[in-house]
């Protein structure tokens, strides 16, 4: 038996899904499972089209990544080229006894994989990191894409099983008719090597970035459209006269340029922007924040779950979530038995500023919430924990295996 994973990014890329898939694939290979990755070719001639690394066979298909810099049309071109090339490679190598795992980059990849896997008579597993076309409808008002949902839902129902990140996302699958014994929840884990960090772990980075002796409010990760980041600038403006509190955005994405422009327009000298940090520096970059912000645009909470939460929790830092108060993420952060932060609606600017001001002057509260965050990360597990679960799901006869299950009833 082989497990074939398809995703646009894999090592040496450092996108969130690349890190997750790399950790899982290598952990599965360590369990003596034959793992094959179909992914894209990075913009580097030094990266071979085919190689085996740590027991994982990597097949990279040619496409383009530059077009995405030209906006949505260019990004669609990038997606399309990978979509076609990856499906063609899958058609060439898939066998009857394979299990093919379709991730969700590019969007709706599972639809094409469902067709090819069916032709090759391979088992199919959907691993949803986000849910399309719903996200496109919410973010770009592309309502015509709703016409794809019946076919997408059929691909979900005909798969051996569907794996998603949390109960809110699982509810969408359940509403689409995916049977309860074919639907599993597998939360994302923190990147390998992230552990609870002491207060001094980021001293060198603080010095370089001019944040020594500051209480740092950090946002680390993708500055994409799904993240509600405008309220962060409003909070920074409310705290502009608190010289000890500094804000830092670490990352890149569609919103970065607009956020920088707006921060400059408002004269927010307490806000700075830094580029994404390499994985080798991730622990220090996350340790930099005394508290971390996690945000979600209202309307998107059932279709995506920010992977940054796992990394922030692993290094033992409190979280302030800005987004729908009734979302799963808000419930996780504020659960009474393991509260590791606060949750606010986007309009609660004054309350968010007050909470940050209080934390900036209460080191004991930060320590307590940080310890609870580390406990949450430990309960979530590691790539090795996930590999044990995935090994069962990938085996012949799955999905009748133990594992977290979504609610038995849910609304779309």
Number of structural domains the chain divides into: 2
Checking if the pLDDT of 392 tops 90, the result is no
As a whole number, mean pLDDT of residues 188-201 equals 90
By CB atoms closer than 10 A (0-12, 13-18, 19+), residue 243 is exposed
Enclosing domain of residue 215: 199-380
Residue 84 shares a structural domain with residue 221: no
Confirm whether 376 is domain-assigned: yes
Residue 16 shares a structural domain with residue 123: yes
- Looking at residue 42, what DSSP letter applies? P
Residue with the bigger pLDDT between 405 and 66: it is 66
Confirm whether 403 is domain-assigned: no
Residue 184 shares a structural domain with residue 204: no
Residue 211 shares a structural domain with residue 153: no
Residue 173 shares a structural domain with residue 220: no
Confirm whether 410 is domain-assigned: no
End-to-end CA distance of the chain: 35
pLDDT digits (tens, 9 = 90+) for 29-54: 999 999 999 999 998 888 999 999 99
For residue 388, how many other CB atoms are within 10 A of its CB?
A: 12
Residue 330 shares a structural domain with residue 362: yes
Specify the pLDDT at position 77.
82
Checking if the pLDDT of 117 tops 90, the result is yes
Residue 387 shares a structural domain with residue 360: no
CB 343 within 8 A of CB 231: no
CATH code of the domain containing 40:
3.40.50.2000
pLDDT digits (tens, 9 = 90+) for 269-302: 999 999 999 988 999 999 999 999 999 999 999 9
Residue 180 shares a structural domain with residue 238: no
Residue 183 shares a structural domain with residue 234: no
Confirm whether 171 is domain-assigned: yes
The Cα–Cα gap between 328 and 187 comes to: 12
Residue 17 shares a structural domain with residue 98: yes
């Amino acid at each position: 038996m082989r497990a074939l994973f398809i995703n646009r990014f894999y090592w040496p890329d450092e996108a969130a899904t690349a890190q997750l898939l790399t950790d899982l694939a290598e952990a599965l290979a360590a369990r003596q499972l034959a793992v094959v990755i179909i992914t894209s070719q990075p913009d580097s001639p030094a990266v071979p089209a085919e190689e085996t690394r740590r027991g994982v066979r990597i097949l990279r298909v040619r496409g383009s990544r530059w077009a995405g810099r030209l906006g949505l049309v260019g990004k669609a071109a990038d997606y399309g080229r990978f979509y076609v090339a990856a499906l063609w490679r899958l058609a060439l190598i898939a066998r009857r006894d394979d299990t093919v795992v379709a991730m969700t980059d590019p969007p709706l990849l599972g639809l094409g994989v469902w067709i090819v896997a069916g032709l090759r008579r391979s088992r199919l597993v959907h691993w949803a990191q986000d849910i399309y076309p719903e996200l496109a409808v919410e973010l770009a008002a592309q309502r015509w894409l709703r016409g794809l949902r019946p076919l997408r839902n059929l691909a979900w129902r005909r798969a051996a099983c569907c794996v998603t990140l949390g109960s809110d996302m699982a509810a969408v699958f359940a509403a689409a008719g995916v049977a309860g014994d074919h639907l599993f929840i597998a939360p994302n884990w923190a990147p390998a090597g992230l552990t609870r960090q002491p207060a001094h772990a980021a001293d060198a980075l603080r010095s370089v970035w001019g944040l020594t002796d500051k209480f740092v409010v950090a946002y680390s990760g993708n500055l994409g459209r799904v993240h509600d980041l405008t309220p962060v600038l409003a909070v920074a403006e409310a705290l502009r006269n608190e010289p000890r509190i500094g804000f830092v955005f670490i990352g890149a994405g569609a919103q970065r340029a607009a956020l920088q422009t707006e921060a400059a327009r408002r004269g927010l000298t307490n806000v700075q922007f830094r580029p994404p940090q390499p994985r080798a520096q991730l622990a220090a970059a996350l340790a930099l924040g005394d508290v971390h912000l996690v945000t979600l645009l209202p309307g998107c909470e059932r279709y995506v779950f920010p992977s940054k939460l796992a990394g922030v929790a692993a290094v033992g830092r409190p979280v302030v979530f800005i987004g729908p108060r009734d979302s799963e993420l808000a419930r996780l952060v504020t659960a009474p038995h393991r509260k590791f932060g606060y949750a606010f609606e986007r309009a609660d600017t004054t309350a968010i500023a007050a909470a940050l001001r209080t934390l900036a002057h209460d080191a004991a509260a930060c320590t307590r919430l940080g310890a609870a965050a580390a406990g949450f990360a430990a309960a979530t597990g590691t790539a090795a924990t996930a590999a044990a679960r995935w090994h069962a799901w990938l085996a012949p006869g799955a999905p009748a295996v133990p594992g977290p299950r979504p609610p038995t009833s849910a609304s779309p």
